[in-house]
Amino acid sequence: MARKYHTRLVNAKGMVDKAHQNKYAVGHFNINNLEWTKALLEVAQATNTPIILGVSEGANKYMGGFKFVEAMVTNLLDSLNITVPVALHLDHGQSVESCKAAIDAGFSSVMYDGSHHPFEENYKNTQEVIAYANAHEVSVEAEIGTIGGEEDGVIGAGEIGDPAEAKKMVDLGVSFLAAGIGNIHGPYPKGWKGLNFEALEKIQAASQIGMVLHGGSGIPQDQVIKAISLGISKVNVNTELQIAFAAATRKYIEEGKDKPENGKGFDPRKLLHPGYEAIKETFSELTGWFGCKGKA
Ligand code: 13P
């Protein structure tokens, strides 16, 4: 059997259960590179906040694979002396094999996203992931319904989750559950109808466990807070950090700070610094909304 995850990482179930009991949500922030990871770990530590670092399959491939990502994160935990709870989570694992590979590399949490399969297949594959994850004390997120998002240039609204399917997933032993409730990955389009609170209430009543709000970027604060009061205990954010990083980098370049005639501002350690600071600011603001700030 493969090794269990690094002792400085934690399984995300404890964090999410605690948030669910106390009606706040833990932030899941996607990482894309070293700057992202370092900024998030440092700001989580500085604000005494638990954090889930999400890694999509695309970002994993970009960064060099599960083993590299696990090594980067766990080495930073050591060298930065991070003591707040940190979970390393595979975001939207598309296959059982992908979840197993992340677990083998030492991830402490995985999402199996079988939402594009018929429910029976989603259920069966989730069951297989749970069996493997349990043997490694790794938490498992599953998804019912679908989260909206862009596909071939068209922004789909997603499919609302079915409470009966939520109950089946809970009985299977999932740690926390993502459901389509009108949420969309990426920027929200004009005319978006907002979150479907009625659906959220029904799914929460059926599941009674911490639920996950995907597409956490760009949802108005009052809707985020209401969703948390109705059972959302983990909020996933990716796009908002990307936009903040890009805007800060753009400002630096537009001010000409990277031009050789203006000094050494072209050094990547300087060029990427404003984006790194912007990630910290965005984390600080959003964790204030989620109620997890200072809850380590
Ligand atoms: P956003 O990119 O819309 O914040 O969504 C992130 C997400 O849900 C990752 O699973």
Whether 54 shows a pLDDT value over 90: the answer reads: yes
CA–CA separation, 211 and 229 (whole Å): 11
236 CB under 6 A from ligand 1? yes
The catalytic residue positions are: 91
Q: Distance between terminal CA atoms of the chain?
A: 31
Whether 124 shows a pLDDT value over 80: the answer reads: yes
Whether 22 shows a pLDDT value over 70: the answer reads: yes
194 CB under 6 A from ligand 1? no
Given this model, what pLDDT does residue 158 score? 86
Q: How remote is the CA of residue 45 from the centroid of ligand 1, in Å?
A: 23
Return the residue whose CA atom lies nearest to atom 5 of ligand 1: 215
Given this model, what pLDDT does residue 151 score? 64
Whether 204 shows a pLDDT value over 70: the answer reads: yes
Whether 123 shows a pLDDT value over 80: the answer reads: yes
Q: How remote is the CA of residue 35 from the centroid of ligand 1, in Å?
A: 19
Residue 88 CA: distances (Å) to CA of 72, 128, 176, 266: 11, 20, 15, 32
15 CB under 6 A from ligand 1? no
Helix (H) and strand (E) counts for the chain? 12, 10
214 CB under 6 A from ligand 1? yes
Whether 83 shows a pLDDT value over 80: the answer reads: yes
Given this model, what pLDDT does residue 263 score? 95
Given this model, what pLDDT does residue 128 score? 98
Q: Name the strand (E) or helix (H) holding 42.
A: helix 34-46
Q: Binding site: which residues?
A: 92, 113, 143, 185-186, 214-217, 236-239
Return the residue whose CA atom lies nearest to atom 8 of ligand 1: 214
187 CB under 6 A from ligand 1? no
Q: What would the mean pLDDT of 247-253 be, rounded to a whole number?
A: 98
Given this model, what pLDDT does residue 163 score? 96
Q: What is the mean pLDDT of the chain?
A: 96
Whether 211 shows a pLDDT value over 90: the answer reads: yes
Whether 2 shows a pLDDT value over 70: the answer reads: no
Given this model, what pLDDT does residue 157 score? 80
Angle, helices 119-134/163-172, rounded to nearest 10 degrees: 30
Given this model, what pLDDT does residue 255 score? 98
Whether 137 shows a pLDDT value over 90: the answer reads: yes
Length of the chain in terms of residues written:
296
Q: What's the pLDDT band for 150 if we cut at 50, 70, 90? A: confident
Chosen CATH of 12-238 out of 3.20.20.70, 3.90.1640.10, 3.40.30.10, 3.40.640.10: 3.20.20.70
Q: What's the pLDDT band for 148 if we cut at 50, 70, 90? A: confident
Whether 3 shows a pLDDT value over 80: the answer reads: no
Given the DSSP bridges, would you call strands 51-56 and 146-151 parallel, antiparallel or unpaired?
unpaired
The structural domains of the chain, with segments of one domain joined by +, span 12-238
Q: What percent of the chain has pLDDT over 70?
A: 98
Atom of ligand 1 nearest to the CA of 237: 4
Handedness of CA 183, 284, 65, 103 (dihedral sign): negative
Q: How remote is the CA of residue 236 from the centroid of ligand 1, in Å?
A: 5
Q: How remote is the CA of residue 56 from the centroid of ligand 1, in Å?
A: 10
CA–CA separation, 247 and 261 (whole Å): 23
Q: What would the mean pLDDT of 152-164 be, rounded to a whole number?
A: 84
Q: How remote is the CA of residue 81 from the centroid of ligand 1, in Å?
A: 28
User: Which of 147, 181, 214, 286 has the most ligand 1 atoms within 8 A of CB, as the residue to mutate?
Assistant: 214
Q: What would the mean pLDDT of 234-263 be, rounded to a whole number?
A: 97
Given this model, what pLDDT does residue 58 score? 97
Q: What would the mean pLDDT of 254-278 be, rounded to a whole number?
A: 97
Whether 234 shows a pLDDT value over 80: the answer reads: yes
Q: What percent of the chain has pLDDT over 90?
A: 92
Given this model, what pLDDT does residue 114 score? 95
Whether 4 shows a pLDDT value over 90: the answer reads: no
Given this model, what pLDDT does residue 152 score? 66
